[in-house]
Amino acid sequence: MISSRTLLREEIEHVWNIDRSEVADNIYRFENGTLVLRPADSQPFSAGWPPGEAKKSTPILRDCFDRGGWFYGAFEGGELVGVVVLDNKRIGKYKDQLQLKFLHVSRSYRQKGLGTRLFELAKATARGRGAKRLYISANPSENTVNFYLRLGCAVAAEPDQELFDLEPEDIHLECDA
């Protein structure tokens, strides 16, 4: 049975135990103002954790936690199987957006509503914190982008330049909170 709760700071490193692997034959690109689905280059796109990701991103997540970010996890038998992180730093032209910094569900727990539930909790939390919109810098895999589109997200009208510069290959989306 899956239980869920707010994560503690010392549990942040457990996010790297989530199996976020996925093989995607197609990836999205943003070309000439349009979202275009293209075959992945020479081999299927694999969305597992890149080498060094934990070392690079753990301090970033800790900083997010320390400035009031919201970390929420789903557990089964003590194992973290899903996580969502909402940054507390206001972004956007009107500073009325919060970034969905992280949303990952272990491969064997997908297609069961867990990702949707975590996303909806993040939206409610963003609303509760006064945000009007949620900003998502999404992995370009077909499944990931389609997941967000099904939940009502759309390509960001004005991508956040700082986040775009960090992840120019991602698909930058937004959604009403």
- At 7 the pLDDT is 98
CA 89 → CA 70, 92, 97, 174, distances in Å? Answer: 11, 10, 8, 15
**Dihedral class, residue 136 (left if φ above 0, else alpha if ψ from -120 to 50, else beta):** beta
CB atoms within 10 A of CB 30: 17
The torsion angles phi and psi of 77, rounded to 5 degrees, stand at 55, 35
For 158, residues 6+ apart whose C-beta sits below 8 A from its C-beta are 92, 93
Domains and CATH numbers, the chain: 2-176 (3.40.630.30)
pLDDT for 35-79, tens place per residue? 999 998 755 556 678 889 999 999 999 999 999 999 999 999 999
Whole-angstrom Cα distance, residue 71 to residue 152?
22
Note if the pTM is more than 0.85: yes
